[in-house]
Every structure is written in C-alpha cells, then in structure tokens.
C-alpha cells in the first residue's frame, strides 16, 4: 500500500515568516494530494489540494508544490499569523486516502 512520510513533526516560526512542510509518498499511482489543517477540538479541514497533472497551486498565503518524479509535495505558508497555529496533515490518494503523521505548527507572535 501507499506510505506517506511527513516532516517536520513540529515547527515553530516567528509571525510573518514562512513555514514549509514536506511529504513524500511511495505509490506512483497516487494522483490526488490534499492538505488538512486541524485545530484543537476540531476535525481536519481541507485547506488546499493538488492533482497529479499540476505542479503548483496557490491560494492567497498558501501554496502547494508537487514533484511527481521525486514523489514529494510540499505546503508553503507565507506571512504566517498566530491563527495559522495548528496541526497540518498531508495525504496521498489514488482511491483510498493515506495520511502523513502530522506537523504541529506554532506561530510565535
């Protein structure tokens, strides 16, 4: 089956700096890569996704890049704000979703 690895497990940045979270996957057939944000006491919320026919996608301060050859994809958050503090999960999917182990992001005011 698919194996998704996510790094780092924890990340602290100063407000206004950028944050980057990286994931690798093993199954070259995976073709859909969503990112989720989970705040305390809530379920994960989809924040951005990318499909295998696209290399990069951006939505305001959030961007995702995909390198199919290397089988890795990354989440980039620019101009971080305290409300960006949460746990972020990547996932890879062909049909079934496989999640990374999560990154706890802390934005220090």
For another protein, the binding residues (CB under 8 A) are 32, 34, 36, 41-46, 49, 51, 89, 95-102
Pairwise CA distance, residues 87 & 64, whole Å: 16
Closest CB 42 distance from another protein, rounded Å: 6
> What are the residues whose beta carbons fall under 8 Å from the beta carbon of 45, sequence distance 6 or more?
36, 37, 38, 39
Q: Nearer Cβ to another protein, position 67 or 101?
A: 101
Beta bridge partners of 50: 33
Of the two residues 6 and 85, which places its CB atom closer to another protein in the complex? 6
For the CB of residue 14, give the shortest distance to another protein in the complex, in Å. Answer: 27
Nearer to another protein, 15 or 58 (CB): 58
Measured between alpha carbons, how far is 36 from 44 in angstroms, rounded to an integer? 6
Work out how close the CB of 100 gets to another protein at its nearest, in angstroms, rounded to a whole number.
7
Handedness of CA 87, 90, 93, 96 (dihedral sign): negative
């Amino acid at each position: 089956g698919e194996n998704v690895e996510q790094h780092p497990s924890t990340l602290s940045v100063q407000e206004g700096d950028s944050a980057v979270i990286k994931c690798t996957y093993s199954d070259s057939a995976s073709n859909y890569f969503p990112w989720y944000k989970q705040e305390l006491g809530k379920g994960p919320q989809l924040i951005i996704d990318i499909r295998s026919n696209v290399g990069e996608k951006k939505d305001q301060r959030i961007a995702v890049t995909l390198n199919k050859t290397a089988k890795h994809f990354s989440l980039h958050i620019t101009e971080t704000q305290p409300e960006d503090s949460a746990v972020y999960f990547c996932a890879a999917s062909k049909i079934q979703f496989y999640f990374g182990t999560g990154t706890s992001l802390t934005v220090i005011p």
